[in-house]
A and B are shown apart, each in its own frame.
Chain A
């Protein structure tokens, strides 16, 4: 099985590679179109700021490739947000795979960013099969509101999409690569789709 991680300037790439290594998988890290198209599964990591990251994707023309991928694709954190239409973070137009916005948390009473371990609610998808625990590690200030694409929610300030799915595209707001055994199980479930 060929697992490809999209190579650009994402901050958590190394952690995703290590998490897959712990599952006995040697992913390839590449920005090459043919390599990405021919992979069985593609992971789209992401940590950082939306507009700068979109700029990097455009420089590599990955903004054209990613929406056209046909195999299962998993977006992580900023990767998930960039798969949506538009982000409030520096008013950034994104890839538009999900017809959903990315909005900023607003609260007088809660800390922002949403940082730490929070539990999934109504997690209903094969991605979440046989989880030993439903707590995942989150770090983000922007979120995707609950919509028809939502396959798991989390409650912070309001309910938001912890995970979304459309056709072959899956995306999670939390970091499965840093979420202990349960995060590893989600990666395993994705690989086994």
Chain B
């Protein structure tokens, strides 16, 4: 049986993890390789590394880092941040990344999704959507959730699938950082309108929130950052809890 996935997300700036971490037995919590390796050993099913570096110099560092991650970590990982062309993706995949994720650049130029799929195959193209619930409408935002667009979440998701992407990473900006739970109703609707896997993101605060995301939200995977980084919910604890809830977990 296919298992639901738990995915820690690491923000990277100039080759270092950004958010503070609270790990015991880790030499350098700022080292994305060491941190990723620790998560993999704890049972993370995949990892996401998001490059928030804005400079060209930082981009080069990131590609080196991707190679270092691939050399040391034996589970799949996605990289994202600042990808805006087919040319940006080649070096990341040949360095060992399994999937890449695009966000604002796909909203700006949806044709980019088709180009990426044609060049590299749907299985490695993730489209991330940041959306905000405004007057009962889920509105897609870009630039880290700051800039509203004229796109609506469900229409955009259908378009993303039609253009061939392999997976959708949906972050509810309303829920992100609140620790009040994932956007369950939106997740459930997303699962109804598209048939590609959905990764839920934004709002994880308790282990029950993960149960809801999988059972009611029908999510295929759940992503979180701070609760893992700060050791609030250790991955092994989360996974054994979810197993007890009869959720298929590795």
**Chain A positions near chain B (C-beta within 8 angstroms):** 11-15, 18-19, 21-22, 47-49, 110-119, 133, 135, 137-141, 155-156, 175, 177-181, 183-184
Contact = CB atoms under 8 A, between A and B. Distances in A.
Contacts of A110: 195
Contacts of B4: 116
Contacts of B70: 14-15, 18
Interface residues of B, number: 31
B40 A156 contact: no
Contacts of B96: 14-15, 18
A112 B40 CA distance: 25
Interface of B: 1-5, 40, 45, 67, 70-71, 74-76, 93-96, 98, 120-124, 166-167, 195-197, 220-221, 250
A83 to B, nearest CB: 18
- Candidate in A110, A140, A177 with the most chain B CB atoms within 10 angstroms: A177
B248 to A, nearest CB: 9
Contacts of A135: 3, 250
Nearest to B198: A111
A134 B220 CA distance: 20
A23 to B, nearest CB: 11
Contacts of B196: 111-113
Nearest to A155: B1
B124 A47 contact: yes
25 contacts: A14-B70, A15-B96, A15-B98, A18-B70, A47-B124, A48-B120, A111-B196, A113-B123, A115-B166, A115-B220, A116-B2, A116-B4, A116-B45, A117-B2, A117-B5, A133-B250, A135-B250, A137-B76, A139-B123, A141-B123, A175-B76, A178-B74, A178-B76, A178-B98, A180-B75
B95 A113 contact: no
Contacts of A19: 74
B212 to A, nearest CB: 19
Contacts, number: 91
B83 to A, nearest CB: 16
Nearest to A157: B2
B213 to A, nearest CB: 15
A137 B250 CA distance: 11
Given A22-B74, A116-B220, A177-B74, 12 more contacts: A15-B98, A21-B71, A47-B124, A113-B197, A115-B167, A115-B220, A117-B2, A119-B1, A139-B76, A139-B166, A141-B123, A179-B75
A111 B123 contact: no
Contact of B74 (A13, A141, A179): A179
B74 A184 contact: yes
B195 A111 contact: yes
A118 B5 CA distance: 11
A118 B121 contact: no
A183 B74 contact: yes
Nearest to B99: A139
A8 to B, nearest CB: 13
